[in-house]
């Protein structure tokens, strides 16, 4: 599996800026593994898809607003850097797009 498999364009207007007052009203995308069909539901419907023995992992990490956009001098290519976690004053864990 390549990290590039997870790159996709997401229109700015589809990126939530604030959480919903009722978190269970969040959008839920459902993929049928057998048919490949995609349907759109709301998160409170997730109980319809969970079976005994399933493991549901909750990600409650906070996101810092630290997205840096730039252009490479030599090629003019656009670059995006997302700062994830500060390790020391000058060292950060990042995601870089495009990146290898």
Segment 28-43 mean pLDDT: 93
Question: How would you write 17-54 as a 3-class SS string?
Answer: CCCCCCHHHCEEEEECCCCCCEEEEEHHHHHHCCCCCC
pLDDT by residue (tens digit) across 59-87? 877 767 688 999 989 999 999 998 888 89
Mean pLDDT of the chain: 86
Q: Tell me: pLDDT of 48 over 90.
A: yes
pTM: 0.49
């Amino acid at each position: 599996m390549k990290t590039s498999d997870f790159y996709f364009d997401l229109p700015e207007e589809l990126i939530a800026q604030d959480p919903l007052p009722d978190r269970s009203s969040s959008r839920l995308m459902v993929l049928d593994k057998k048919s490949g069909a995609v349907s759109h539901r709301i998160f409170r419907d997730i109980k319809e898809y969970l079976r005994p023995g399933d493991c549901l992992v909750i990600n409650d990490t906070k996101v810092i607003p630290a997205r840096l956009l730039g252009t490479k001098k030599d090629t003019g290519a656009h670059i995006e850097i997302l700062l994830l976690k500060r390790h020391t004053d000058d060292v950060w864990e990042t995601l870089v797009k495009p990146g290898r």
